[in-house]
Amino acid sequence: MKTPREVLLNRHRAIEPKLDEIRRSVCASGRRAAPRPSVWAPLFALPALLWRELIFPSRRMWAALSAAWMVLIVLNVAQRDKSTLPVGAPAPVMLSFQEQQRIMRELFADRTTSVEAEPAHRMVPRPRTEVMNTFIL
């Protein structure tokens, strides 16, 4: 008794030479038409690959991150130290500024005296109590 597989194979054996010829012609035309890849092709494809894999899928996250950086930059610029005087400042303003700087140095000066630290107390270990485990046999 023949299996269904054998029945199908016997029915289509006559078409095998035609299928082989079609396969050969397609493979031959495919070999001729395929261009040879450039050595630099991977290098030129790298930006597109980075865009497609890293930036495009998470564009909302990148937008939020860039907005946060913009806020940080704006806050940093807004809080810059404006206490520096221009070079051509008038003499009374310059003296007042120097007086303020002297007062600030006095206020924030380190006035702690170096006292030798007491030696650290060493912890003396106390004797352990030994608990005997008794087993009843």
- Could you give the number of structural domains in the chain? 2
Closest C-alpha to 83, from 73, 94, 72: 94
- Whether the full predicted model's pTM is greater than 0.85, yes or no, is no
Q: What is the pLDDT of residue 21?
A: 92
pLDDT in tens, 75-122: 998 888 766 656 666 778 778 888 988 998 888 887 666 556 566 677
In a domain, 121, yes or no: no
42 found inside a domain: yes
CA–CA dist 34, 26 (Å, integer):
12
Domain match, 29 and 46 both? no
The pLDDT score that the predictor gives to residue 67 is 96
Distance CA 101, CA 107 (A): 10
48 with 70, same domain: the answer is yes
Query: pLDDT (tens digit, 9 = 90+) per residue, 37-76?
Result: 777 777 888 888 888 888 888 889 999 999 999 999 999 9
Task: List the domain range (segments joined by +) for residue 44.
Answer: 38-76
Q: Are residues 2 and 30 in the same domain?
A: yes
